[in-house]
Structure 1
Amino acid sequence: MKKKKAGSMAVMLLILIYLLIPLVVSIIYSMFDKWTGIAPEGFNLGNYATLFSDPEFLATMGRTVAMCIIPICLTIVIVLLALFVTTIYFPKLEKYVQIICMIPYTIQGVILSVSVLSLYVGSSTFLSNRLVMLFGAYCIIILPYIYQGIRNGMRAVNMPMLLEAAEMLGASKLYAFFKVIVPNILSAIIVSSLLAVGIIFGDYVLIRNLAGTSFPNLQIFLYQTMKSDSTKSSAVFVVIMLVTFIITAIVLFLKSREAKGRKQKN
């Protein structure tokens, strides 16, 4: 058993090292002036100093974080309400809701952006606004991940039984849903949200087609930097990975803190 465990750990370690190689190489490359031979030359942290003193880069980072928060929160609320209605009142319609939520898996970014533009660009309503179209498109592409995570969480906690128990104590269905069910599936919501953050952070096609250069995110900034300076673009990539890691760490910390609080109450 010990040999099998050691072998499994060795395989996992090799896979981890293999996956981290691109990130480690990018970090090293961003800290030097050039790397044309076996070893990099000219250790220099000027790329990072330039980035964090650049107002345009800081504004781009803020926009990217905002573009993650708004669509994810919107999609979570919509999916929660849709699953609440279908599970409690119209259980036969759940399979159709699932089909609708899975459709974005098959839609490419180019097709989605062109379709949204052709449909809403000539509208006289607020839907013709480029940012509204962009946030709507993001809600569509992250919908399958948010839906699947929340749905699995609801099935794991046996939502109908918990709601019946809450109703027996005098709570309404909607009140019990947000006070009992949602806190119990918070881990599923967090995991699906983190998947959505990765998708939005890595997007280039949708924001390029829908918003152009008027509302650039980190991916557009990275693409523009690659044209002029390869070492600086590596620094931008490292910062993107670092921001994603920080967001993930904060969310997981809040989750573990909440779990500890529940244990202490119990």
Structure 2
Amino acid sequence: MNPSRFSQIYHYMTLLIVFLIMAIPIVTTLIYALSSSWGASILPDSLSFKWFVQLWQDARFLAALGRSLLISCAAIVLTFVLLLPLIFFVTYYAPKSQKIMNFVILIPFAMPPIVSSIGLMQIYSEPPFLLTGTPWILLGCYFTIALPFVYRSIINSVQTLAIHDLIDCATLFGANKFYAFLRIILPNLRHGVLSGLLLAFSFLIGEFVFANILVGNRFETLQVYLFNMNGKSGHFASAILSSYFFLVMLLSFIVMRVNRKKG
């Protein structure tokens, strides 16, 4: 056999195996969510959409989903708005400080969420910072979580551009430097920005530890709702997981379509 042909087959087989390993848990969860009952047999006894119908008719689920979408999107918007001036300053005025920033943005991942949650509860459970149990403390936590994803994605895209040359050319025509960054540099970072926002959203909407410890049922998010409903029915919980997966997939598809149309 031709070595190049053998290499091609090997790569396709490896890709297929990885895809199957990733797809099997998702497919089995979806089948379990669609089954009326599944006992000792290999296949479910019957299929039904009743668990999805119950789920999407549940006002509590819709409220939890709305809260998760609201707090995740708000944290991402806050991250993006606050991060843009910082990225402009770091890349244009202080490029040597990028090493410090690379260390700083990793700090949220250096401490386990359970430890961070206990520390935040100690600080924000008494006046004048009485924030525990409110969405505001969750917004702050989600901001720190989204920061590394968005910063790393944008800064990687910035490093592919001759940012100093582009901004200097714009200033020769009378443009403000930050205005030139917004109108010239930022549109060229679209792919990195969208990738970072998608990664951050996928992580935030599935976050459980901070949401459960800091706000719990007082601001029930999607993952807290899943935890509370876990004892109701395995089929119902599988319907929640399947809906969550398809929501993220739909958002990913929309982002890819937007990238493709504007690319």
Q: Is the 8 A contact 1:80 1:150 kept in 2?
A: no
CA distance in 2: counterparts of 1:213 and 1:128, whole angstroms? 12
Backbone CA RMSD of aligned residues: 1.7
Residue 163 (1) aligns with residue 167 (2):
yes
Return structure 1 stretches of 4+ with deviation > 4 angstroms: 125-129
Residue 32 (1) aligns with residue 27 (2):
no
CA distance in 2: counterparts of 1:125 and 1:3, whole angstroms? 64
Q: Which residue does the alignment assign to 2:25?
A: 22
Q: Is the 8 A contact 2:92 2:163 kept in 1?
A: no
TM-score for the superposition, normalised by structure 2: 0.92
Shift of 1:151: 0.9
Q: Is the 8 A contact 1:149 1:189 kept in 2?
A: yes
CA distance in 1: counterparts of 2:101 and 2:17, whole angstroms? 41
What amino acid is aligned across from residue 164 of structure 2 in structure 1? P
Q: Is there any run of 5+ residues in structure 1 with no aligned partner, and where? A: 260-266
Q: Is the 8 A contact 2:90 2:98 kept in 1?
A: yes
Q: Which residue does the alignment assign to 2:261?
A: 257
Identity %: 26
Shift of 1:95: 2.3
Q: Which residue does the alignment assign to 1:4?
A: 7
With over 3 angstroms needed to count, the CA separation of the structure-2 counterparts of 1:60 and 1:166, relative to structure 1, is same
CA distance in 2: counterparts of 1:71 and 1:5, whole angstroms? 43
CA distance in 1: counterparts of 2:78 and 2:103, whole angstroms? 20
With over 3 angstroms needed to count, the CA separation of the structure-2 counterparts of 1:173 and 1:24, relative to structure 1, is same
Q: Secondary structure at the match of 1:251?
A: helix
Residue 61 (1) aligns with residue 65 (2):
yes
CA distance in 2: counterparts of 1:123 and 1:93, whole angstroms? 36
Q: Which residue does the alignment assign to 2:149?
A: 145
Q: Is the 8 A contact 2:123 2:129 kept in 1?
A: no
Q: Is there any run of 5+ residues in structure 2 with no aligned partner, and where? A: none
How many residues are aligned here? 259
Q: How does 1:101-112 map to 2 (within 5 A)?
A: 101-112=105-116
What are the superposed Cα offsets for residues 59-79 of structure 1, whole Å, 9 maximum, x if unpaired?
A: 111111112211111112222
Shift of 1:124: 2.4
Q: Is the 8 A contact 1:113 1:137 kept in 2?
A: no
Q: Which moved more, 1:222-231 or 1:18-27?
A: 222-231
Shift of 1:125: 5.4
TM-score for the superposition, normalised by structure 1: 0.91
Q: How does 1:1-266 map to 2 (within 5 A)?
A: 1-37=4-40, 38-124=42-128, 130-259=134-263
With over 3 angstroms needed to count, the CA separation of the structure-2 counterparts of 1:79 and 1:119, relative to structure 1, is same
